[in-house]
Amino acid sequence: MARRNPELMDRVELGERMLQWHGGQNDPVYAVGSFYLSGKQYPDQEVVEDALANLEAELEQFERMRAGERVMVRRQGKMVDLRKFAGYKQKDLEEHAIDLSEIVDTLREQMVEDSGGLHENARGATRTAGFAIETWDQDLIEAAAEEAVSGKGVPSEFRRFVHTDGTITQAGWTTLNKDVERLEINSMNWLKHKFEGAQDEGHNNYGELAGTLWYDPKDKAQLDLLDIGQTERLDMVDSSYGDLAKTVWNGVSGFGQGVLGGAIHILDVEE
């Protein structure tokens, strides 16, 4: 196992360790790791952010398994218990979680270094807007759970999370709370990816994660997203309202994907 000191990990070692976790040559983790292994900066920041999201999702699975949760994934066309399928022992889960945590932390630092960070002078030509990341409230979640099991029973992989009458178990709510945190993290990454930067300022009185984003007033794609988010919403489920739905579910449990939803709302756009 690689040494446990991310502060000493350079770009080449980061690339080497990333390549141990790639899911194939079409995986952004493979693309970025290959460049880093050669000591090169990857030229497309968007691909680096995708690689980070994939690694974060992988880390989330190991953290959940390490805590004793059952993680269901699709393998060979069917849903299986990942821990049993891969034959992981508790020691394996501990080692893999530590390794991935170091890779994720170092990759974040490398991204900031490569991009030069979000310095004030880089924001000189940008303007600001507010945002609020909304996730479904308890009533909507419970209604979705009841609908999911209505007339067809509880899928075997979800029996820990929901009763036969559709009410959600304590284990289910524990999982969903973690899933909501993941949705917020992924939404923040998406905002930083699509605009010039974004910073959260905590949860508002409605329970939404609110903050400020910076946008380029000359960038049509950014302006279009602002318009959708201000007049409609940037939806987590419906990809016709921006493409947030394509990445926001990374690392969210299968149960969460079935009963959660939400959107990003844009407000107070500086003209």
127's enclosing H/E stretch is strand 127-135
At residue 9, what are phi and psi to the nearest 5 degrees?
-80, 120
pLDDT for the residue numbered 6: 43
Provide the edge-to-edge strand list for the sheet that holds 127-135: 197-203, 209-215, 127-135, 262-267, 234-235
Tell me how far CA of residue 12 lies from CA of 15, 40, 232, 245, in angstroms. 5, 8, 44, 33
Segments in the chain below pLDDT 70: 1-8, 23, 115-124, 151-154
202-243 residue pLDDT tens: 899 999 999 999 999 999 999 999 999 999 999 999 888 888
Instruction: Read off the tokens for 201.
Output: 């300022």
How many other β-carbons are positioned within 10 Å of the β-carbon of residue 161? Answer: 25
Strand partners, 198: 213
Quote the CA–CA distance of 63 and 99 in Å, as a whole number: 12
pLDDT for the residue numbered 154: 66
Cβ–Cβ under 8 Å, residues 140 and 261? yes
Instruction: Give Cα 168 to chain centroid, integer Å.
Output: 23
Tell me how far CA of residue 214 lies from CA of 41, 119, 233, in angstroms. 25, 12, 18
Cβ–Cβ under 8 Å, residues 190 and 245? no
Quote the CA–CA distance of 90 and 145 in Å, as a whole number: 31
Cβ–Cβ under 8 Å, residues 66 and 94? yes
pLDDT for the residue numbered 173: 93
Quote the CA–CA distance of 70 and 115 in Å, as a whole number: 38
pLDDT for the residue numbered 189: 85
Instruction: Read off the tokens for 200.
Output: 């959260």
Cβ–Cβ under 8 Å, residues 27 and 54? yes
Quote the CA–CA distance of 243 and 247 in Å, as a whole number: 8
What is the chain's length?
Answer: 271
